[in-house]
Amino acid sequence: MRISFFAPLALGLCLLLPACQQAETAKPQLAVVDMARIMRDSEPGKAGVKFLEGIQAEMQTSLNDIQSRLEKNPNDAQAQKELQTVYMGAQQRMQVEQQNVINVLYDMVQRVINGYRVEKGYAVILSSEAAAAYDSKADVTADIVAAVNKQKVDFKPAAAAKPEAGKEDAAPAADAAAQKDAGQKDAAQPDAAPAKK
């Protein structure tokens, strides 16, 4: 009888032993990343900054040209108006370009993080800014930066700059149409002029 009492107990303990070992060696289901560090330290993040610096340099050159004209002739109202227009346009374009770079980087980083999460078996990867406290072992930022560095990102000017070019193309077309109409009126007037003689 003693054997029959201890046999089920021993069998039950044997079945619970692997479950206890799994709990001890189970991988954490949560990881943390520092998004600001990824954007700042990754190669695509640095490329985004260089792209924006290049656009800013172009705009600054244009502003400097207008300012030098104003220094030569401070009363040039047209140059003052042009400076103001170019300055406001440059600010707006810079905001659009910055947002474009951020969106491109963020989308790519999100894809990398999600792929990493699936590959490593994490249930959740949180931004470190959202976590009140966490174990440094849960921080996978270095792994994500390494994965992001393997990505190829090609930054292009935002599409918002293209409609402005379309407006510029429309203006010469309108001017050409106006000149054509004026040319037709001028052509009609010489016929009328000989009749007066």
Residue 21 token pair: 């070992």
Contact yes or no for 69/63 (Cβ under 8 A): no
| Cα–Cα distance measured from residue 112 to residue 142, given in angstroms and rounded to the nearest whole number | 13
- The 10s digit of each residue's pLDDT in 137-156 is 999 999 999 999 999 988 88
| Cα–Cα distance measured from residue 81 to residue 193, given in angstroms and rounded to the nearest whole number | 42
143 CB burial (10 A radius; 0-12, 13-18, 19+): middle
User: Is residue 70, in this structure, part of any structural domain at all?
Assistant: yes
Domain range for 53 is 27-161
Domain count, the chain: 1
- The 10s digit of each residue's pLDDT in 89-108 is 999 999 999 999 999 999 99
Q: Give me the helices (H) in 73-131, please.
A: 77-120
User: Is residue 186, in this structure, part of any structural domain at all?
Assistant: no
CATH of residue 41: 3.30.910.20
